[in-house]
Amino acid sequence: MRDKLQQIKIDALVLIDNAQTLEDIEEVKLKFLSRKGELNSFKKKIKDLPADQKPVIGALANEIAQELEQKLNDKLYILQREEILKRIESEKIDITMPGKAVYSGKKHPLTTTIDEIVEIFQGMGFSLVESQHSPEVETEHYNFDMLNFPPDHPARDMQDTFYTQLAPNVILRSHTSNSQVREMQTKKPPLRVVIPGRVYRAEDVSSRKNNLFHQVEGFMVDKDITFGDMKGVLNEFIRLYFGQSRPTRFRSSFFPFTEPSAEIDVQCIMCKGKGCRVCSQSGWLEILGAGMIDPNVLKNAGIDPDVYSGFAFGMGVERLAMLKYAINDIRLFFNNDIRFLKQF
């Protein structure tokens, strides 16, 4: 009996020693120490022993049970420790690894430019007009007629203006000046407003021209407004927009809706006036059309030109952005190439 007990002990110790996992430990426990395990089965046989042997063998069985229990717990402790260390190792975070970049959305450079232009004029007392007085799909009436364009003016030609099939005379506006009379008809002078928006022209696309571009329209109507006021406001705008006075020139020009009219050029930033592809070798980039509002336009809007006068201007947003950020191709604004957009 004693030998049998020793054998059980040795078998169990070998298995405990070989156990690699917590499951192995469970198995040993089950095999030797559970209710139906080998030690218990052995103990059941003790009652058949001679009386003098019962206590001795019984005591020895208990002793072995205790020893195995102790060994199992020791081994369990070691394996649990190993498992924890393994987990710590596998979950270790290398804080020296480069992180994943998070890209956030940004304003389009044209939106930024429009915001900047509007803000500068707001600083000079102009207010921003919402789009209801500035539709992109427009009638010839507001785009041309009310602005004093004669019926046979070449700008009405199919080559410059996109005509729609919605109705005869419904077009995509060719300039934001369409909003001038709409705005003047609904308000009384004094007026000082800026109106940004998209405009459309049927042009050959090139580095300087696109079918769709943006303008900011503005005008001021009050008593005693002069050409000098206009020059002052526009020069101040150019100074604030570029952060410095840049060479500009006011060229006399013609628009049906202004008299006198001027075009304002800024020196080409690409070639510093020497002449390049962007400025068509002229050294200058036109950014603005402007002039004193023609009395006919004021009359069309129901404003008495004998009492009131005003100036108006329209500027190309893309041109202004190209000058400021040294961009040499207008198409970059519309291709939506992320490598371009993310630079702003």
Q: Rounded CA gap, 62 and 275, in Å? A: 106
- Degrees (nearest 5) of the Cα angle 34, 36, 37? 55
Q: Nearest CA to 74 among 109, 111, 121, 25?
A: 25
Determine, following the binding rule CB under 6 A, whether residue 175 of this chain makes contact with ligand DAH: yes
- Degrees (nearest 5) of the Cα angle 211, 212, 215? 130
Smaller CB separation from ligand DAH, 37 or 289? 289
Determine, following the binding rule CB under 6 A, whether residue 216 of this chain makes contact with ligand DAH: no
Smaller CB separation from ligand DAH, 64 or 292? 292
Query: What counts of helices (H) and strands (E) characterise the chain?
Result: 12, 9
**Quick one: how far is CA 217 from the chain centroid?**
26
Q: Nearest CA to 66 among 88, 39, 48, 84?
A: 39
Determine, following the binding rule CB under 6 A, whether residue 217 of this chain makes contact with ligand DAH: yes
Smaller CB separation from ligand DAH, 65 or 233? 233
Q: Which one of 121, 291, 301, 333 is in contact with ligand DAH (CB under 6 A)?
A: 291
Q: DSSP label at 147?
A: G
Applying CB under 6 A, the site for ligand DAH has a residue count of: 11
Q: Rounded CA gap, 217 and 191, in Å? A: 13
Provide the minimum distance between the beta carbon of 257 and ligand DAH in the complex, in angstroms, as a whole number: 6
Determine, following the binding rule CB under 6 A, whether residue 196 of this chain makes contact with ligand DAH: no
Provide the minimum distance between the beta carbon of 256 and ligand DAH in the complex, in angstroms, as a whole number: 9
Determine, following the binding rule CB under 6 A, whether residue 161 of this chain makes contact with ligand DAH: no
Q: Nearest CA to 231 among 296, 313, 319, 156?
A: 313
Determine, following the binding rule CB under 6 A, whether residue 312 of this chain makes contact with ligand DAH: yes
Q: Which one of 255, 284, 308, 333 is in contact with ligand DAH (CB under 6 A)?
A: 255
The piece of 61-69, 90-98, 223-231, 306-314 that touches ligand DAH (CB under 6 A) is: 306-314
> Residues interacting with ligand DAH, by CB under 6 A?
175, 177, 217, 255, 258, 289-291, 312-314
